[in-house]
Chain A
């Protein structure tokens, strides 16, 4: 153990890398904190807040992808978090600060139930099931009056002001949006720290092994179901947490905001940034994809075409994503991303892959 410590802390290259990282993070934190000072327009603040939400959705996608599961229900769980929080606040009068953790918990419970049924069928089965779930949830929100129907829910209360002794209370104002921005930063930070803890822990290694070869991981003693279900719950809960924030930020919800197309957008953010970069990739991808359509606002009706085209071009010509271009680090060789998707699907069908010889 002593030996390990020495290696870790005293070797000069380590210190350089670590201190470099620390300096980078401090600079990044200062920039992020100073954004509201520089960016004055509420509309631009709104875009940045949406970048935060979108980035988390893309992170949630990558988190589950690492265990070999491709989910199309990200937006569904984002919506479950949003609706749970909105209903708790509107119907039961719960303050936002209670509705936020409560709705994350509700999302986690629903993710557990749904995941318990879905995760046993990896590969195609899982993709189809999550699409079906994603579509069904929009129908449920839209059809039942309890959820507000297709007109949605309006008048969702804003977060209550935070009072700190001796200081003016922090109001959540629609005009400046500064408080919302900082709250968004705080929530994204929570998700990033949680995800990072998972990636860095040795459970992360088990997840990575599952993503690389589920059959081999299982033969080495990994309970695929348990690890995948846990990843599904964590990923969905992160989306649900941002959903709660979204509901109280927008102050109104419509079911169609949470349809499967939104999940596809989350995939695009992730792939654009680079799926090998679990945290920075989604941020870069969401930043570009959220802001660039606004630069071409005259052509806004063509935006879905632009996005679809971009996705095709990315997968064909830039499978490593933008960060893959500038980074020398090659985390998971995402150049094989398409081949890997195929491999996962094949590997998840044990009969056809391992019983091949006997079926001739």
Chain B
């Protein structure tokens, strides 16, 4: 399997605190990798560093054979890594369709000045992007809600819309930060199915999630972080029985 994302000895310090401490991570093409660990393990920080929101203190991130360490978030987005946020981060005052359309639009590589001059080619492009946005909503099951304001959607639909937005940037790799947290059982199942569908289209996925059942069910491989360090990695059934992982979650007493 080809490696699409390689994280080498990556560290991120906040003052003296190592939020991420020399983590190595390999993500294969079209793989679903789960990233788990107790609260404060550094999972979200790792996402923030990979997606360029924080510069790393040391280490390297290689994406698609290209060193992207220290690039800005918008540059990394254009290279094909897209992410969701823990809370539903959407354009709340826009309609569902406009959200996805905006996602398409922003990721489309038109220069600011060409956009300003509104060339006919730009108008044609707009219509094409609007159609593509409708397609995505159709696939993700949000088409009937396309004219609803994002703010008025129930939580589960907002999370799905967040994934639609991410897909609109035409990514090769997506980082999902707690995609099913706060969802009920049927919403969780819908999201899991959608994530599988996305993977089947050839997009690699890394998930941070606390819902163990969903993670075990969905992921091909799982990496476990604790106090910023990677303590285990393997297939879901291996992780389930891993002594160190149980210790990290439940404390030393539990393994005795």
Contact = CB atoms under 8 A, between A and B. Distances in A.
Nearest to B113: A203
A163 to B, nearest CB: 34
A227 B106 CA distance: 12
Nearest to A7: B127
A354 B48 contact: yes
B165 interface: yes
A208 B94 CA distance: 10
Ranked 6 nearest A-B pairs via Cβ:
A221-B77, A203-B115, A220-B106, A202-B115, A221-B107, A212-B91
Contacts of A216: 85, 89-91, 165
Interface stretch (B57-65, B118-126, B137-145, B232-240): B118-126
A314 interface: no
A25 to B, nearest CB: 20
Interface string A200-233: 1111011011001101111111111011001000
A1 interface: yes
A360 interface: yes
Given A212-B91, A223-B72, A354 B44 contact: yes
Interface of B: 14, 19, 39-45, 48, 51, 53-54, 72-74, 77-78, 82-83, 85-86, 89-94, 102-103, 105-107, 110, 112, 115-118, 120, 122-124, 126-127, 165, 168-169
A354 B177 CA distance: 11
Given A213-B89, A354-B85, A198 B102 contact: no
A319 to B, nearest CB: 14
A202 B89 contact: no
A65 to B, nearest CB: 14
A355 interface: yes
Contact of B105 (A197, A206, A215): A206
A235 B44 CA distance: 37
A333 interface: yes
Contacts of B72: 223
A68 B97 CA distance: 23
A4 interface: yes
Given A203-B112, A354-B85, A209 B118 contact: no
B74 A224 contact: yes
14 contacts: A201-B116, A202-B105, A206-B115, A215-B85, A216-B89, A221-B106, A221-B169, A223-B74, A224-B74, A355-B14, A355-B54, A358-B19, A359-B14, A359-B19
A350 B54 CA distance: 8
Instruction: Pick the most buried of A216, A226, A359: most chain B CB atoms within 10 A of its CB.
Output: A216
Contact of B123 (A1, A333, A350, A351): A1
Contact of A332 (B89, B90, B93): B93
B14 A351 contact: yes
B112 A230 contact: yes
A357 interface: yes
Contacts of B110: 202
Interface in A156-208: 197-198, 200-203, 205-206, 208
A354 B52 CA distance: 12
B115 A201 contact: yes
A282 to B, nearest CB: 21
A355 B44 contact: yes
A216 B77 CA distance: 11
B110 to A, nearest CB: 7
Contact of A212 (B19, B93, B124): B93
Contacts of A198: 116
A166 B33 CA distance: 80
- For chain A, the bracket of interface size reads 35 or more
- Chain A binding surface, main DSSP class: helix
Contacts of A201: 115-118
Contacts of B14: 351, 355, 359
Contact of A226 (B53, B112, B168): B112
A203 B116 contact: yes
Given A206-B105, A212-B93, A357-B40, A219 B73 contact: yes
A335 B124 CA distance: 35
Contact of A213 (B77, B91, B116, B117): B91
Contacts of B165: 216, 220
B85 A218 contact: no
Nearest to A221: B77
A230 B112 CA distance: 10
B39 A357 contact: yes
A225 to B, nearest CB: 8
A113 B123 CA distance: 33
Nearest to B128: A1
Contact of A202 (B19, B43, B118, B120): B118
B83 A219 contact: yes
- For B105, B168, B169, the residue with the greatest tally of chain A CB atoms inside 10 Å of its CB is B105
Contacts of B168: 220
A6 B126 CA distance: 16
> Which of A221, A226, A359 has most B Cβ within 10 Å?
A221
B83 A202 contact: no
A241 to B, nearest CB: 18
A359 B90 CA distance: 24
Given A201-B115, A354-B85, A360 B40 contact: yes
Of listed B93, B94, B103, B165, residue having the most chain A CB within 10 A: B93
A149 to B, nearest CB: 41
A206 B122 CA distance: 14
B90 A354 contact: no
